[in-house]
Amino acid sequence: MSINISLLEKKIGINFKDKKILLTSLTHKSFSPIDNNEKLEFLGDRVLGLIISKKLLEIFPNDKEGSLDKKYASLVNRRKCLDISKKINLENYIVTGNVKSKKNKIEDKIVSDACEALIAAVYLDQGFDVTESFILRFWKNSFNLNIKDQIDAKTKLQEYSLKKYKILPKYKLLSNTGPKHKPVFKIGVSLKNSKTINASGSSKKEAEQIAAKLFLKNLGL
């Protein structure tokens, strides 16, 4: 296993006291069934959720729970973790049992899971304050009006469907997979006489929002 973790440390601006925990956060179970990042991913998901929840309460103190929940779902999900991972080229540092090549890229799920594992590694090695600064530094551009655009996708599609067809869009749960602590919901949405657009998310609400957004994009809206 040969990866330049010092380069990753420079990218994220953190010098780990315990290099082993950083390496573990980057190790997929296909490389090591025992010493891998699954448990760190479990912890990182919770740490990320706590810090994002705390920040949302600070920014939107007057929002109701439902509104905060929608904003949270747009910030804590696999796609967002994947976006952050791309900013730091995290895929280049992940260790798997497969030899990496241009034709054999690491799966998106493995990359986003490693992002959460990295968050846990930062938390265990550096503490809460450093972890909070780390997360907010990379998530800061997401705390803007793009959140509103994303959470309004379902409403926009509903308005379009009612105006054009006088009926509501149909959402259908296609599958529910993944472990209990990190479920993956696949939702299909369709309008009258249209093909179904599918999307996945960590909650039904998130999957519905993403599906609605994709449907609107398909309509050119």
Q: Residue 211 class from Cβ within 10 Å (0-12 exposed, 13-18 middle, 19+ buried)?
A: buried
Active site residue 91: no
Annotated catalytic residue: which of 41, 45, 125, 208? 45
Annotated catalytic residue: which of 41, 113, 116, 206? 116
d(CA 49, CA 55): 10
d(CA 85, CA 118): 10
With CA atoms as reference, report the closest residue to 209 among 154, 161, 172, 155.
154
CB 51 within 8 A of CB 131: yes
The per-residue b/e assignment along 104-115, b for 16 or more CB within 10 angstroms, e otherwise, is eebeeebbbbbb
H runs (alpha helix) in 16-127 = 19-25, 38-59, 65-75, 78-87, 108-126
Active site residue 116: yes
Name the strand (E) or helix (H) holding 200: strand 197-201
Identify the residue whose tokens are 């280049």.
92
Task: Kindly report the backbone phi and psi dihedral angles of residue 65, in degrees, each rounded to the nearest multiple of 5, phi listed first.
Answer: -55, -45
Catalytic residue numbers, as ranges = 45, 116
